[in-house]
């Protein structure tokens, strides 16, 4: 049975897309058949894998949501053997407006991904907001990965996000759980404790897996394509291994 992992944070700059892309790449490097779904109209995850907005016109995830194409039609090969991409497209901006008047709209993505029969793992990158697209990604997921900036204020915003996850769990997706909270651009847990509210972090760590990903200032794209010896690659790889073990 495939596992669907949605990477979510409503704040820009949290490292959400980098986490989604690198997690998907690492799962692929472990020879797990992986599908990365770019569910953010900005298309940053697609760009990280070399797909531009011009290339996705009429060929993005929105076409499947609208019933015009199948998910399999939209899958693209990547530079990584076990990783395929379903790109976003500018037309995805229309999804929230068009879906707002339709009953059961939040389950569109879940129903669509039910047909991803060839994937062991599906990783969904989401917008930096809590609108229809993000809620749909939560409704579709088995596991949520939450990247957060490594500073004190980030925990305040994290509290709101966790409340949204709990609400989706109670109404749309009873099996939804938090797989990891990831402090990005943060070398170690000791560094995280020094930079955020230590007591709050300790309390959170007692019920949720918390980890860090080191800062990496390479070119845009997967860390594995730039420096497989980087600490950030090791951190993403360890995160992928943890999610596989669950």
What confidence tens digit (pLDDT) does each residue in 112-123 have? 999 888 999 999
Residue spans of the chain under pLDDT 50: none
Identify the CA nearest to 32 among candidates 93, 101, 80, 73: 80
Query: What range does the domain containing 195 cover?
Result: 3-245
Q: Residue 130: which CATH number?
A: 3.40.50.300
Convert the pLDDT of each residue in 215-225 to its tens digit.
887 667 899 99
Identify the CA nearest to 125 among candidates 203, 241, 222: 222
Number of compact structural domains in the chain: 1
pLDDT for position 114: 92
Q: Which residues of 158-187 are buried (b: 16+ CB within 10 A; e: fewer)?
A: beebbebbeebbeebbeebebbbbbbbbbb
């Amino acid at each position: 049975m495939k596992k669907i992992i949605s990477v979510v944070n409503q704040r820009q700059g949290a490292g959400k897309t980098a986490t989604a892309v690198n997690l998907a790449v690492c799962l692929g490097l472990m020879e797990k058949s992986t599908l990365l779904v770019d569910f953010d109209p900005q298309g940053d995850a697609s760009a990280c894998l070399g797909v531009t907005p011009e290339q996705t016109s009429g060929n993005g995830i929105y076409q499947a949501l609208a019933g015009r194409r199948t998910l399999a039609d939209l899958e693209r090969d990547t530079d990584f053997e076990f990783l395929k991409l379903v790109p976003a497209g500018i037309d995805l901006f229309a999804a929230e407006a068009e879906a707002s008047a339709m009953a059961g709209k939040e389950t569109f993505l879940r129903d669509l991904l039910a047909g991803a029969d060839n994937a062991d793992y599906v990783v969904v990158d989401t917008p930096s907001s809590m609108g229809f697209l993000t809620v749909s990604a939560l409704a579709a997921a088995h596991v949520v990965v939450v990247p957060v900036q490594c500073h004190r204020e980030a925990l305040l915003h994290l509290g709101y996000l966790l409340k949204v996850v709990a609400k989706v769990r109670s109404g749309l997706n009873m099996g939804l759980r938090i797989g990891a909270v990831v402090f990005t651009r943060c070398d170690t847990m000791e560094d995280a404790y020094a930079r955020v509210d230590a007591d709050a972090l300790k309390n959170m760590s007692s019920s949720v897996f918390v980890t860090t990903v080191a800062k990496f200032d390479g070119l845009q794209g997967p860390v594995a394509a730039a420096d497989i010896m980087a600490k950030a690659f090791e951190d993403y790889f360890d995160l992928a291994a943890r999610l596989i073990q669950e």
